[in-house]
Amino acid sequence: MEETYLQSSFLKEFRIPNYILVPESEIVTVPDVPKCPVLVFINSRSGGQLGGDLLVTYRSLLNKNQVFDLGEEAPDEVLRRVYLNLEKVKANGDEFAIKIQERLRIIVAGGDGTAGWLLGVVCDLKLSHPPPIATVPLGTGNNLPFAFGWGKKNPGTDRHSVAQFLDQVQKAKEMKIDNWHLLMRMRVPKDGACDPIAPLELPHSLHAFHRVSATDELNKEGYHTFRGGFWNYFSMGMDAQISYAFHSERKLHPEKFKNQLVNQSTYAKLGCTQGWFCASLMHPSSRNIAQLAKVKILKKHGQWQDLEIPHSIRSIVCLNLPSFSGGLNPWGTPNSRKVRDRDLTPPYVDDGLLEVVGFRDAWHGLVLFAPNGHGTRLAQAHRILFEFHKGAADHTFMRIDGEPWKQPLPVDDDTVVVEISHHGQVNMLATHDCRSKSVHDPSSSPSQHGSGSEEHFSDEEDSVHGGGEEHRKFGAAETFRIPDEDDGGNLKVKTVIC
């Protein structure tokens, strides 16, 4: 079996010749177009030593010029160069280049932040043939890979393991996934800074989540306006606080966080020390979600409405994928009564809706391990608006796709606004073990998701800021900063100005 995977006739189906990858290279005649040409992006800092080992192995099996270290070169630079060269070669009548572009797939190895970075870049560049993306699980949570069937354990880095993964990529199916745009606006403070508090900056999984420029139409005088996006989830409250404690500790002592199992154990211990398991004693009610924010939701073709959040909810999660906290599914599958009475659906990844779930504490979260267990289903929404006012607390914790930050809240009579809206879709690659469901797939209909009875867990029951231009880009194609993670209109590219 190993000989089959490693023989040149198998590997040639993935290799791309130099003249496609490197501008001004000598054009050569290649007898056959590879069935599954790939560009491979690896975060060599992920997974301890695994990222670096994986880089070496991929370069030994494929053309080293089609395998990129994200610590050395940003993906937007790579894709601009490759696609500009493809257009140039195609203009000379090269049929091989046309087929390469049609069949091209991307492999990204890293944590969820790295995968999100690639997704953001592909979305920003608006390539004429956007390649679908396969994700290698090289982080701690690995929610994106797990949701699409690529597993959640760090992979083998030997030649045979890599060749097996390439075989899966060749057999994988394409599947669309919703993108979500996030806008955050806060008034420039009279004293001090409104930026998130050290040691962490805003997370890279917001794809260069940065202050918009003075010339951007989103800019508002007297305010700091940030923008970004996500694919997996946005969460706020105590779960993000635990994540923040973990990332802060890892930033101070990176040498202690080189093993996935050790990282997960440390994460669990921090959950205890931060009070997540005895929140009623250690977590002030002033930091519960209902006391921190007013929340509004917009359903498809509907009107904005206030979202009632039980006062006991200490953490709220807005889910795009049916995978959170290392593979758990907080939304579950609503039974037929919930579908009828509350207009709830299974968690499809391409229906333009986010699942909004609340948790009281870690014990509440343990129901996810039970059959049909789920959190408190609050709503499904096409758009969500959080408004934070002065009063309850001076800060809260937020997290996007595994990366947390500590967010200051208003200290005067003003509002911090976070608005999440649907942005579009990108193409993922999924295996036959894919957990994610498509609204367009007949096998994903509600009747296929167990519409019978479920356990009786607690189940409490036009844009405000304008739309349009702010939803065009995430800003991923403008950054050169690698994620600091735990192991963490079809235009041609030459017309794109980023």
What is the average pLDDT across 467-479? 54
In the chain, the largest separation of any two C-alpha atoms, in whole Å, equals: 71
β-bridge mates for residue 306, sequence order: 296
* Among 24-38, 54-68, 112-126, 279-293, the least confident range: 279-293
- pLDDT confidence band for 21 (50 / 70 / 90): very high
What is the average pLDDT across 76-91? 93
Q: Is the pLDDT of residue 281 over 70?
A: no
What is the average pLDDT across 162-172? 96
Within 104-174, residue ranges assigned H as helices are: 112-125, 143-147, 159-171
Report the C-alpha gap between 53 and 474 in whole angstroms: 31
Q: Is the pLDDT of residue 263 over 90?
A: no
What is the average pLDDT across 113-122? 87
What is the average pLDDT across 117-126? 87
- The DSSP call for residue 495 is G
Here the contacts of 259-264 (C-beta below 8 Å, separation 24 or greater) are: 259/48, 260/47, 260/140, 260/153, 260/154, 260/487, 263/140, 263/486, 263/487, 264/140, 264/326
pLDDT computed for residue 41 by the predictor? 97
Q: Are 208 and 117 in contact (CB under 8 A)?
A: no
- pLDDT confidence band for 467 (50 / 70 / 90): very low
Question: Considering the chain, what is the average pLDDT of its residues?
Answer: 77
How far does CA 362 lie from the centroid of its chain? 23
Nearest to 99 by CA among 169, 148, 30: 30
Report the C-alpha gap between 201 and 60 in whole angstroms: 36
Q: Is the pLDDT of residue 128 over 70?
A: yes
pLDDT computed for residue 165 by the predictor? 96
Q: In this predicted model, which residue has the larger pLDDT, 336 or 77?
A: 77
Give how far Cα 385 sits from Cα of 86, 296, 382, 416, 426, Å. Answer: 42, 5, 11, 11, 23
Q: Is the pLDDT of residue 40 over 80?
A: yes
User: Is the whole-model pTM more than 0.85?
Assistant: no
- pLDDT confidence band for 498 (50 / 70 / 90): very low
- The DSSP call for residue 402 is T
Residue 476, exposed/middle/buried by CB under 10 A (0-12, 13-18, 19+)?
A: buried
Report the C-alpha gap between 318 and 235 in whole angstroms: 6
Question: Residue type for 55, please?
Answer: L
Range picked from 65-74, 118-127, 237-246, 335-344 for highest mean pLDDT? 65-74
- pLDDT confidence band for 303 (50 / 70 / 90): confident
pLDDT computed for residue 330 by the predictor? 75
What is the average pLDDT across 121-142? 88
Give how far Cα 134 sits from Cα of 43, 433, 461, Å. Answer: 14, 13, 37
β-bridge mates for residue 405, sequence order: 398
Which token pair is 438?
């498509």
User: What is the chain's length?
Assistant: 498
Q: In this predicted model, which residue has the larger pLDDT, 286 or 345?
A: 345
What is the average pLDDT across 311-316? 85
Which token pair is 269?
């211990």
Range picked from 197-211, 277-291, 386-400, 445-459 for highest mean pLDDT? 386-400
- pLDDT confidence band for 199 (50 / 70 / 90): very low
Listed in sequence order, the residues at least 6 apart from 267 whose beta carbon sits closer than 8 Å to its beta carbon are: 140, 242, 243, 246
